[in-house]
Amino acid sequence: METKSQSVSFDPRTKLLLLITVSGILVQGKMEGMLIGVNLCMLAVPLLFFWVDKRYKKTIKYGLIFLTGVILELGILPRLTGQSAVLAAAVISLMIKIMPGLALGMHIVMATEPAELLCALQKMHMPNVIIWTLCLVFRFFPTVKEELGYTLDAIYIRMGGIKQLILRPVTALEFVFVPLIMSVVSIGNELLMAVLTKGFSMNGERTNVCVQKLRVQDYVAFSLAGVAWVIKFLT
């Protein structure tokens, strides 16, 4: 799992709200009128998280993708017609409507500790079933990513470099998916045992070493998200 190195951290509840806001507004929004400014702000949210977490390469990469999508949406798409317009619209939708939410969601999953999420969801009085499910997801994907990295390193060494990977793609895929499937099954069983061992199935209030509370940056994020939704519904 990625370690949190940011000096300005957000509560997990704020992260979930921003994820819903970014995904909801961008998927349904249009680049016209006041919504242009709102959509640009939504595109900036994932970049802000990457930058604060000192993921500068990821910030530049996604920033260029989003910038290209905006330029295509505002400058190129209106001049196209026919099948080229349909194809361009599909590519643009992927770049500036779907990808920002996916990128932000994956970053939140990788950068949020399950204990912090557990504490925040308990403060929201969420049902235990939802809490357990989300905590398992936040632990599962980082572990799978780590295992996949080890698998790819082993494949690279076994096949003798990138040239063999290109010349034998079917074998390379087999070497990836078979260990990955076995790892996924093993990780799922281990996480289930961890849940049962820690007594998540027992009733009653649980204690937590993490202390989660809303701070100034969280209230600012709540306010900006509310303003964005108001503008979205009024336009």
Q: What is the DSSP string of 37-101?
A: HHHHHHHHHHHHHHHHTT-HHHHHHHHHHHHHHHHIIIIIGGG--HHHHHHHHHHHHIIIIIHHH
User: Quick check: 156 pLDDT over 80?
Assistant: no
Is residue 94 assigned to a domain?
yes
Is residue 205 assigned to a domain?
no
65-90: average pLDDT:
86
Is residue 225 assigned to a domain?
yes
- Both 97 and 164 in a single domain? no
How long is the chain? 235
User: Quick check: 207 pLDDT over 70?
Assistant: no
Q: Give me the pLDDT at residue 66, please.
A: 92
- Both 152 and 86 in a single domain? no
Closest CA to 24 of 234, 235, 232: 232
For 11-34, b where at least 16 C-beta lie within 10 A, e where not — what string?
bbbbbbbbbebbbbbbeebebeee
What's phi and psi for 31, nearest 5 deg? -85, 75
- Which residue segment(s) compose the domain that 142 sits in? 115-197
Q: Give me the pLDDT at residue 59, please.
A: 93
- Both 64 and 90 in a single domain? yes
- Both 147 and 120 in a single domain? yes
Is residue 193 assigned to a domain?
yes
Is residue 1 assigned to a domain?
no
How many C-beta atoms lie closer than 10 Å to residue 119's C-beta? 20
- Both 135 and 149 in a single domain? yes
Is residue 208 assigned to a domain?
no
Among the listed ranges 9-18, 117-126, 174-183, 191-200, which one has the minimum average pLDDT value? 191-200
Count: domains in the chain: 2
- Both 92 and 44 in a single domain? yes
- Both 137 and 152 in a single domain? yes
How many C-beta atoms lie closer than 10 Å to residue 160's C-beta? 9
Q: Cβ distance 217 to 10 under 8 Å?
A: yes
pLDDT in tens, 215-232: 898 899 999 999 989 988
- Both 131 and 166 in a single domain? yes
Among the listed ranges 69-73, 78-82, 200-204, which one has the minimum average pLDDT value? 200-204
User: Quick check: 18 pLDDT over 90?
Assistant: yes
- Both 128 and 85 in a single domain? no
- Both 79 and 123 in a single domain? no
Closest CA to 104 of 26, 42, 19: 19
Is residue 126 assigned to a domain?
yes
Closest CA to 3 of 54, 40, 63: 54
- Would you place residue 208 in the very low, low, confident or very high pLDDT band (cuts 50, 70, 90)? low
- Both 144 and 230 in a single domain? no
- Both 94 and 107 in a single domain? yes
- Whose structure tokens read 């949210």? 45
120-130: average pLDDT:
79
Q: What is the pTM of this model?
A: 0.74
Is residue 219 assigned to a domain?
yes
